[in-house]
Chains A and B, each alone.
Chain A
């Protein structure tokens, strides 16, 4: 469980670093967004909240929810929200990443075959989630 949490944190931190590289070249102040909408736990669910990881672009914090030893949810609790690009990450890439982390965990797969992705498409692909799996 902790291994999975670490993997998710690493994946999210990497994604933030990749996507926000150009937007933060000269910034000194960090605006942090939080997601107050982390859903409440259902009966039988347990949550493991990671410590906030400080990337050079801002803190990233995630929560993993499990039920019967299966990952059933991944919540992004904190993420950089300084620029339009950051907000796009929050609205677009994180949900995909979470979805893909869940899919990869439940199907026990090693790799994914599908229509050829571009370098950009790879970033939010299921294969990318697998490559970052610890």
Chain B
């Protein structure tokens, strides 16, 4: 097979990319991975993980661990061990946010506000464990970046995507071997657009995210659905709040909590989070950002 491409530059094997879009968890999870992740099976493993999480944690499936636990038909000990892990993480965020984050919105156990970001971060970790040093996973608008994107990725893109699992086979026929890491010298930061909450399809700004996560909470796609757990009513005042930091599980939970706080409280609280920075757009269209956010903004 290799003798078919005797003149293929080594860089092509390193930088060939595959995109894949997987419908799961009520949204679509998008992957941008090296072709080696398809050949080696780690993309498929990451996708299988997301579907497993959906089966265990979906509040819309009557037989999920979360539904059974909410109905008191099982105890935590009778659930997958990941359920206890998620509950304890939700508790930590609830405490550090002064009660603005909860695993029981409306009084019913439903940790969905934590699960998606956590699951997407873990999917990215599955790809890392298999050797990828450059990939991006976007779970319905919450993004985990690992490494940077290869500088030549756009030029040599072997992209293919599909809404079905058959898309997993895309690129596998290339037979490209897994190459050594391109290294940071051959990469540039991932560029993640922050959606404009007032104009669908447009961007408010672009952030550079090398090895970090970008999570946004807002009203643009599903209306005022974030409940302020302290009032029991939809949170108001903000149109969109973005958190950038190393872990998507935390960035996503922090964004949800800060959004529920509203603009007045959210700014001081976000400023206090070590390692995480925030950017907000209020209902009036005003914007603010934490002191350390500016270096994340991509040059125009």
- Point out residues on A near B: beta carbons under 8 Å: 14, 18, 96, 99-100, 103, 107-119, 121-122, 125-128, 130-134
Contacts of A100 in B (CB 8 A): 201
Which 8 A-B pairs give the minimum distances between C-beta atoms? A114-B195, A115-B218, A122-B28, A109-B193, A115-B221, A115-B220, A116-B140, A113-B214
Within 8 A of A (CB), among B266-290: none
Number of A-B residue pairs having CB atoms within 8 Å of each other in the complex: 130
Contacts of A107 in B (CB 8 A): 191, 193, 203, 206
Distance between Cα atoms of A114 and B138 in the complex (Å): 10
Contacts of B201 in A (CB 8 A): 96, 99-100, 103, 125-126
Residues A117 and B27 in contact in the complex (CB < 8 Å), given A96-B201, A122-B140: yes
User: How distant is B141 from chain A, measured CB to nearest CB, in Å?
Assistant: 4
Verify B163–A115 contact, CB threshold 8 A: no
Verify B193–A116 contact, CB threshold 8 A: no
Contacts of A108 in B (CB 8 A): 191
B245 contacts chain A at the CB level, 8 A cutoff: no
Distance between Cα atoms of A127 and B220 in the complex (Å): 14
Distance between Cα atoms of A93 and B10 in the complex (Å): 41
- Residue from the set A112, A122, A130 with the largest chain B CB neighbour count within 10 Å: A112
Verify B161–A113 contact, CB threshold 8 A: no
Verify B192–A110 contact, CB threshold 8 A: yes
Closest to B137 in A: A111
Verify A18–B220 contact, CB threshold 8 A: no
Closest to B160 in A: A134
Distance between Cα atoms of A111 and B139 in the complex (Å): 10
